[in-house]
Amino acid sequence: VTRRRLPLMAIVLAAIVGAVWAGQHRLQPEYPAFSAAAIGWMPAAPPVGGVTETWFCPGVPATGVDDVGGSMIIVNRTSELRVGTVLVFNERAENRRLELSVDPYTTARVDLDATLAGEMVGGVVEVDGGGVLVEQQSFHPSGNSSAACSNATSDTWYLADGSTVDGSLDQVVLSNPYDQTVIASLQFATREGSRAPSAYDGITVPARSTRVIDLGAPGAGAQGEPVLAVTVQSTRGRLVVGRFQRFLGGGRLGTQVTLASPAPREQWWFANGFTGEGVTERYSIYNPTDDDVQVDPIFVGIPDAVQLDDPISVPAHEVVVFEPALVTSLPAGPYALVFSALDQPSVVIERATTTQSDDDIATTVIAGATPRPDGYLATSWYVAEAPGDATAGALVIYTADNATGTVTVSAIGASGPVPVPGLIDVVVPGPGAVLRLDLTDPSVVGRPLLIESDNRIFVERAFPDGRGDLRYSAWAIPVS
Amino acid sequence: MRTVATLTGASRVLGRSLQLVLVTLVEVVVGLFTGRLGEALASLRALLGLMPRTLPIVARRQAIRGQRAVPEREVLGLQVRGSSRLTSYLRGKETATYVGADTTVRRWREASFGPPLTWFCVILAIVIGSRALIRHGVPAVGEFLPFPDSPRQLLHDYRSSFDPRGFGATVALPTGYAILSVASALTLFRMPLMMTVTVIGLYLVGGLGAWRVATVFPVSRARIAALVVYVGTPLVPGVLGAGDFSGLVWFAALPWLVHLIKRGAGLDTADPSTAVIDLVDGVAQVDLRHRFRAIAFATLVLASTAAFVPVAIALFAVCGLLIAFATLLVGGAWRVAAWLAACTAIASLLAFVLNLPWALDWTWTTVTGPQTAGASGRNAYDVASLAPDNLRFGVLALALYVPVVAAVAITRAWRLTWSARGAALVIGFGALMLLADRGALPIDMPRPSLLAVPIALGLAINAAALVGGFGTDVLGRGFGWRQPAALLANLAIVVGLVPAAVSIGDGSWNTPQPPLTTFLDSQLPLDATQGDFRVLYVGDPRVLPVPGREYTPGVAYAVVDGGALDFTDRFPTAETAGDAAVERTLQLVAQGSTLRAGRLLAPLGIRYIVLPETDGVASTNDAPIPVPAGLIAAFRNQLDIGSLPGPPALTVFANDAWIPVAAQLTGATADASKLAGDDALVRADLALAKPLMVGADGRPASSAEVTPGVVHLAIPYDSRLHLQVDGTELTSRPGFGTATDFDVTEPGTAVLSYARDSTRSLWVAVQVVLWLAVLVVAAGARASFGRRRVDDVHDETLIDLTDAPPLSLGVAGEVLGLPVWNDDDELVFEPESQPDDEATPPGDEPSEPADRPEPKLRPASRPAPIPVGRDQRGSARTPTAFGAAQAIDDAGDDAELDLAGLVASVDDDEEHT
């Protein structure tokens, strides 16, 4: 090797080594993300300051007869006047657009049955500048309920827990807020497996209208099903999908409106679980993907976390029911639960809780909470409207961080959020603990609430459904 | 010429006249590029001088008529056929100049059937590989968008100061417009043919450039190796299949640039006989004039390349610096390294200047283009193979790296130096490409194909070094590891060519069928009744049909006018207020801050939003590039943007709120145009807009009947836009905060016009002068432009028919074989049967000088070996046996095509220095 060649050879050898190293250390491809906000998540309060903020309410029964009605509430959570429009439409594609003006820290209410009566009335709320919360409320003799409206439409929606036993109503509400007709298809999974009836293929939803698919109707293909999961897939356009359930048998009673889940996820959280006397719970785990998945439930919020020995196997396009009461190592009482799919986002999980109080029964269904697709978990949550009466154990808070911390609940009045006496800096008992808060202070009654923590939390509400102490479940609205 | 005009018989005088005109024109063109402009102008003057002498010539013809003793056909039979100039030019090809340590020698060139056979095979392979392109035209894939139909319009656009692309703006247009327009004359302004010729021609030009670079190696097989490796890497099939015009232009230009800077640095073919003393480089003594010529020529090549691929200037600078660094690394002369660096720097700077004023708009971001999100996830070996993913056996191309290592390990003398230069290109750009592919570089990088071109050239150089030195460096040394290693490396070259050879079979270099643009044309039809519109493309930058602007890494957007895409769309557009509005809207959409993006885009004339998913090239059905997460969902979520059914390759949305590019606004919409800001826009009623002045998006010069309200032009506010209604000039104002609007109070006929930037003409004039100046320097023209004029035009007796003809130093002298000067003191004769080192056993070069045949003096009349010595004045020159013939033909060594001829002239001048 000549002196001339020596440095050159050294560089060439180094290059060879580098190339071989690079060949053996292949990097995972990085894919660009355009919008996290557009990827399906649970309803959330967007940052204030956007050009417009839009909320989609899938629809509630608002016939206005037999005490069946509905409303939309719009909460201005900012210190400035908010103006916008409310578009209301029903299953007959009738529309009505209202001008909206909401003073700072106040709530506007749209009486749907008075505005535009219909079997199922949905709406779109557009507010300039944003900074609002929108919920739809359903009033029914067999139970009231409310659910946050969606921030976005989607071309897929999933519902994991349904029942048409003993004539129970399980109505899927397809809501099209756009100016174009949407075409969708629907398939469902029962204990017998997955089905995609041709009658549910190519369902048209006219522009600015709702359409109700009654799964338990004669000929609908899902009569008498104790377990019923649904996938709605739009082939043209996008929808908002909700559900109206009226339980009439199978151990269930009550009425509830809920919003469907726009996407399967790999992690689902439930804060307000309970095993014990008078409460029946089941979790419906629906796998709408083409691959079988394994799901691990982990009970937390109890002194010692409980994990099953074997994960739950959920075949593709099928729904599997998991009952915590059958887990012998789980102590009676409250708990929180997280399901973790071992694969890609692949499951949708809902919890159905049936509570017996005196002679009455209430069944409520709630989908789990999920982290935002980018992993974000909120530390602040809103409640659009607190119960009208003092309610014990109305808020159930689970701290996701493995740390101690505090929680403060503020009631939003005309001057803005004001901490509620007795709910200031409430110390979370310990890492991963479940906190139950009473909303008994007069200052919170009927007011919007702001729940803030120094940890990442999940806030589930258990508000009265209008029938004594019976409750319905719903999530508060995380701050995005 | 007067002699020809006087003596040619009547039956042939017309044909001869035409021949004179044609030959003179060709001579002017060739002379312009070969440093013989003076001679060419003399010929032209002589030709033009025939016209005022018509009557005297006629008189002389009549006078001579009676003296014809034999019929003209007998005279013709005695004349030598063919072109004396061409003959002497070809004869010049038979010798080559070799630079030794102290002397420069001219010897017979190796006579081999290899080069023509190789070229025949290469051309045949390219033609076969491109057969579908030749038969059906180049498909509109990637940047291979159709050239505009009218070169005249293209030139007109270039001279204009208004760029109608994108949103339209008063900016300088790309220099490529002018080059395309001028170059279209080569195909008689048939633009589809020009596209085909350009695409295939650039491939060949690149190969020819590699051949020229390899002229530093004295043996033909080295040049053959360089040629086949350079054209045979999988890079080119990938570039052609992807419609990567930028990559193709850069592929064609780089070897020429390297060749020219080496000429500028004085590097030439080293004398093979000096191998034993480990000659680092064949450094010829060249004067400044010849260096300037080389630099000027490199400048022209680089400026032309940058006119289409601006980032080529930066890439070339890196190439030049790497080559200079490698020179120093292996003990090369610092002067050589300095000249290499200086030539690179000067050519780069001048290329930038030649592209002014367009170059003023260049930024690193615009010339590199939008970046990907990060690591591609490709295997490093796949990246290093330079092969596209869809090329079969692409991994075999990795074998081409074996000669790189082998050349570095085995070669000696100047071949080692060139191996180092090739390796520097391979390692330097290989590292850049790998790091860029892994997303590990802190700065934006050009697309991989542009980084791959220097690697391909490095592979070619080292293959040439290895093959060229096989005799001396391998066979001429004792048996050991070198022999099997060299054999293995030679075999690797063959293996490495397999992927490119396989790609020939497709006939269209695996271009997708049908291309993405076909879908676009059918999905977004023009409808004059609807008005002009624009299309917003958003997606991964690799799948956009035109170069985009980066929104975030991995997400780019582009705005084009409605209608079919053409070649001008491949040039990046100037950033305008419209782009800022689009980016702001994209941000709002991404954040979910509005579901009324349609209204925000409406004043910009954006009717369609297209999200490409697969383009058949970078993203295929089998291996799609994922659409940026949330992109489709975010647009589907919008309330005023509706989905359109379409092919799976695209997601197309229609903006329900769009306003035509030129529109008449009335009522609430007219009122809304006075407001600015997104808040106002999302609340605005935009329904009261009617199309107007169709075609104004391409050329803001139109007229239409208008009514009271607002005339809206979706062109970022430009005070050069004027509107007159019945002769009354209206004042323009920003519309919707971005566009150019005019308030109309009375109905009438509106005439839209654009006031051209008066400085544009000056810029163009200066640019033309600069190009011509560099061209003149490159041509080495030393013609006296101060023509001596004579007061009276008179004929003179050129041939005294009564006396014996004098011997002249022109063609006649050549024909008679009379030497004019032959100071052959240092004549070295290499028998023709033993050309240079190729014929000296045991290998290309003798291992010992004693083994070489003794030089012999040759007869002065024999037209053969020509040494280059120094005359008594000390200046280097090339004696020739042909005397005056040398004055006619001092072309370089082996220039097969015109471009080669151009550069050969540079070579030639150096040889004579």
Answer yes or no: do A51 and B629 touch at CB < 8 A: no
Q: Report which of B798, B620, B586, B884 is spatially closest to residue B5, judged by C-alpha positions.
A: B798
Asked if B645 contacts B656 with a C-beta cutoff of 8 angstroms, the reply is no
Lowest mean pLDDT among B512-516, B599-603, B753-757, B871-875: B871-875
Nearest CB partner across the interface for B438, out of A27, A151, A155: A27
Report how far apart, in Å, the C-alpha atoms of B155 and of each of B148, B159, B163, B353, B771 are.
Answer: 11, 6, 12, 20, 16
Answer yes or no: do A50 and B423 touch at CB < 8 A: no
Residue A287 CA to residue A267 CA, distance in Å, equals: 13
Neighbouring residues of B816: CB distance < 8 A, sequence distance ≥ 6: B807
B624 pLDDT more than 60: yes
Residue in chain B lying closest to A18 (CA): B431
β-pairing verdict for A209-214 and A169-176:
antiparallel
Q: Phi and psi of B158, rounded to 5°?
A: -65, -40
Answer yes or no: do B423 and A8 touch at CB < 8 A: yes
**Helix-helix angle B114-129:B220-232, to 10 degrees:** 10
How remote is the C-alpha of A466 from its chain's centroid? 22
Give residue B373's pLDDT. Answer: 87
Asked if A66 contacts A141 with a C-beta cutoff of 8 angstroms, the reply is yes
B793 pLDDT more than 50: no
Residue B864 CA to residue A123 CA, distance in Å, equals: 96
Answer yes or no: do B633 and A126 touch at CB < 8 A: no
- Two tokens at B695? 């075609």
Report how far apart, in Å, the C-alpha atoms of B905 and of each of A23, B31, B626 are.
Answer: 46, 10, 52
Residue in chain A lying closest to B585 (CA): A51
Residue-averaged pLDDT of chain A: 91
The 3 state secondary structure assigned to A197-254 is: CHHHCCEEECCCEEEEEECCCCCCCCCCCCCCEEEEEEEECCEEEEEEEEECCCCCCE
Numbers of helices and strands, H then E, in chain B: 34, 21
Average pLDDT over residues B795-807: 46
Beta bridge partners of A349: A285
Residue ranges of A 119-138 with Cβ closer than 8 A to chain B: 124, 126, 128-130
Lowest mean pLDDT among A434-443, B235-244, B806-815: B806-815
Taking CB atoms and an 8 Å cutoff, what residues of chain A touch B331? 3-4
Q: Report which of B810, B899, B783, B880 is spatially closest to residue B35, judged by C-alpha positions.
A: B783
Nearest-Cα distance to chain B for A369, in Å, is 20
Give residue B381's pLDDT. Answer: 87
Q: Phi and psi of A468, rounded to 5°?
A: 70, -130
Q: Phi and psi of B452, rounded to 5°?
A: -75, -25
Q: Which amino acid is at B308?
A: F
A282 pLDDT more than 70: yes
B88 pLDDT more than 80: no
Q: Phi and psi of A293, rounded to 5°?
A: -135, 160
Give residue B861's pLDDT. Answer: 38
Asked if B819 contacts B882 with a C-beta cutoff of 8 angstroms, the reply is yes
- pLDDT-derived band at B815 (thresholds 50, 70, 90) equals very low
Q: What proportion of chain B, given as a percentage, has pLDDT over 90?
A: 37
Give the torsion sign (CA, B451, B452, B457, B463).
Answer: positive
Neighbouring residues of B273: CB distance < 8 A, sequence distance ≥ 6: B98, B100, B837, B845, B846, B849, B852
Average pLDDT over residues A109-127: 93
Nearest CB partner across the interface for A179, out of B376, B593, B642: B642
- Two tokens at B60? 């002389």
The residue written with tokens 């044309």 in the block is: B521
Question: B846 or B501, which is more confident?
Answer: B501
- What would the pLDDT profile of B33-60 be if each residue is shown by its tens digit? 665 667 777 888 888 888 888 888 888 8
Average pLDDT over residues A245-274: 92
ipTM of the complex: 0.86
B783 pLDDT more than 80: no
Residue A198 CA to residue A36 CA, distance in Å, equals: 34
Q: Report which of B568, B575, B698, B759 is spatially closest to residue B178, judged by C-alpha positions.
A: B568
- The pTM of the full predicted model, rounded to 2 decimals, is 0.81
Asked if B892 contacts B906 with a C-beta cutoff of 8 angstroms, the reply is yes
B756 touches chain A (CB under 8 A): no
- pLDDT-derived band at B277 (thresholds 50, 70, 90) equals low
Taking CB atoms and an 8 Å cutoff, what residues of chain B touch A52? 593-596, 682
Average pLDDT over residues B867-877: 38
Residue B880 has what DSSP assignment? -
Give residue B910's pLDDT. Answer: 43
Residue A147 CA to residue A124 CA, distance in Å, equals: 14
Residue B870 CA to residue B848 CA, distance in Å, equals: 26
Residue A47 CA to residue A59 CA, distance in Å, equals: 25
Report how far apart, in Å, the C-alpha atoms of B146 and of each of B250, B308, B544, B567 are.
Answer: 19, 15, 16, 5
Q: Report which of B264, B278, B400, B370 is spatially closest to residue B330, judged by C-alpha positions.
A: B278
Answer yes or no: do A51 and B404 touch at CB < 8 A: no
Q: Report which of B256, B258, B235 is spatially closest to residue B247, judged by C-alpha positions.
A: B235
Nearest CB partner across the interface for B427, out of A12, A23, A180: A12
Average pLDDT over residues B801-828: 36
Give residue B812's pLDDT. Answer: 33
How remote is the C-alpha of B7 from its chain's centroid? 46
Report how far apart, in Å, the C-alpha atoms of B160 and of each of A104, B164, B172, B559 are.
Answer: 55, 10, 8, 21
Nearest-Cα distance to chain B for A102, in Å, is 17
Lowest mean pLDDT among A280-284, B198-202, B562-566: B562-566
- What would the pLDDT profile of B409-431 be if each residue is shown by its tens digit? 888 888 889 999 999 999 999 99
Residue A404 CA to residue A387 CA, distance in Å, equals: 28
Beta bridge partners of B753: B722
B594 touches chain A (CB under 8 A): yes
- What would the pLDDT profile of B586-601 be if each residue is shown by its tens digit? 999 998 888 899 999 9
B692 pLDDT more than 50: yes
Indicate left, alpha or beta for B363 from its phi (over 0: left) and psi (-120 to 50: alpha): beta
Taking CB atoms and an 8 Å cutoff, what residues of chain A touch B630? 33-39
The residue written with tokens 């002018």 in the block is: B178
Question: Maximum CA pair distance of chain B?
Answer: 101
A281 pLDDT more than 70: yes
Alpha-carbon dihedral angle through residues A99, A105, A111, A112, given to the nearest 10 degrees: 70
A7 touches chain B (CB under 8 A): yes
Residue B845 CA to residue B836 CA, distance in Å, equals: 8
Beta bridge partners of A135: A73, A148
A409 pLDDT more than 60: yes
Residue B145 CA to residue B138 CA, distance in Å, equals: 8
- pLDDT-derived band at B274 (thresholds 50, 70, 90) equals low
Give residue A94's pLDDT. Answer: 94
Report how far apart, in Å, the C-alpha atoms of B309 and of each of B252, B254, B576, B888, B895 are.
Answer: 12, 12, 21, 38, 26
Taking CB atoms and an 8 Å cutoff, what residues of chain B touch A130? 593
**Kindly report the CA angle at B445 between B441 and B448, in degrees rounded to 5?**
110
B491 pLDDT more than 60: yes
B811 pLDDT more than 60: no
Residue A344 CA to residue A334 CA, distance in Å, equals: 29
Numbers of helices and strands, H then E, in chain A: 2, 36
- pLDDT-derived band at B843 (thresholds 50, 70, 90) equals very low
- pLDDT-derived band at A38 (thresholds 50, 70, 90) equals confident
- pLDDT-derived band at B198 (thresholds 50, 70, 90) equals very high
Residue B643 has what DSSP assignment? E
Q: What proportion of chain A, given as a percentage, has pLDDT over 90?
A: 65
Taking CB atoms and an 8 Å cutoff, what residues of chain A touch B423? 8, 11-12
Residue ranges of A 41-60 with Cβ closer than 8 A to chain B: 46-47, 49-54
- Two tokens at B12? 């042939």
Nearest CB partner across the interface for B631, out of A34, A46, A154: A34
Average pLDDT over residues B236-265: 93
CB-side neighbour CA atoms (13 Å) of B619: 22
Residue A282 CA to residue A274 CA, distance in Å, equals: 10
- Two tokens at A437? 């808060």
Residue ranges of B 374-393 with Cβ closer than 8 A to chain A: 374-381, 384
Give residue B35's pLDDT. Answer: 59
B699 pLDDT more than 90: no
Cβ neighbour number for residue B410 with a 10 Å cutoff: 25
Give residue B101's pLDDT. Answer: 67
Residue B263 CA to residue B347 CA, distance in Å, equals: 13
Give residue B93's pLDDT. Answer: 65
Nearest CB partner across the interface for B631, out of A35, A129, A179: A35
Average pLDDT over residues B151-171: 90
Residue-averaged pLDDT of chain B: 80
Nearest-Cα distance to chain A for B412, in Å, is 9
Residue B460 CA to residue B462 CA, distance in Å, equals: 6
Taking CB atoms and an 8 Å cutoff, what residues of chain B touch A479? none
Residue B421 CA to residue B336 CA, distance in Å, equals: 13
Give residue A138's pLDDT. Answer: 93
- Two tokens at B848? 């010992």
Asked if B815 contacts B824 with a C-beta cutoff of 8 angstroms, the reply is no
A&B contacts, CB < 8 Å: 190
Beta bridge partners of B872: none
Answer yes or no: do B630 and A154 touch at CB < 8 A: no
Average pLDDT over residues B232-260: 93
Taking CB atoms and an 8 Å cutoff, what residues of chain A touch B682? 51-52, 128
Average pLDDT over residues A66-92: 93
B434 touches chain A (CB under 8 A): yes
Asked if B491 contacts B224 with a C-beta cutoff of 8 angstroms, the reply is no
Buried residues in B393-406 as b, exposed as e (16+ CB within 10 A)? bbbbbbbbbbbbbb
- Two tokens at B637? 């979520």
Question: B574 or B80, which is more confident?
Answer: B574
- pLDDT-derived band at A474 (thresholds 50, 70, 90) equals very high
Lowest mean pLDDT among A236-245, A277-286, B2-11: B2-11
Measure CA of the first residue to CA of the last residue in chain A; give whole Å: 65
Lowest mean pLDDT among A62-66, B274-278, B404-408, B780-784: B780-784
A345 touches chain B (CB under 8 A): no
Answer yes or no: do B377 and A30 touch at CB < 8 A: yes
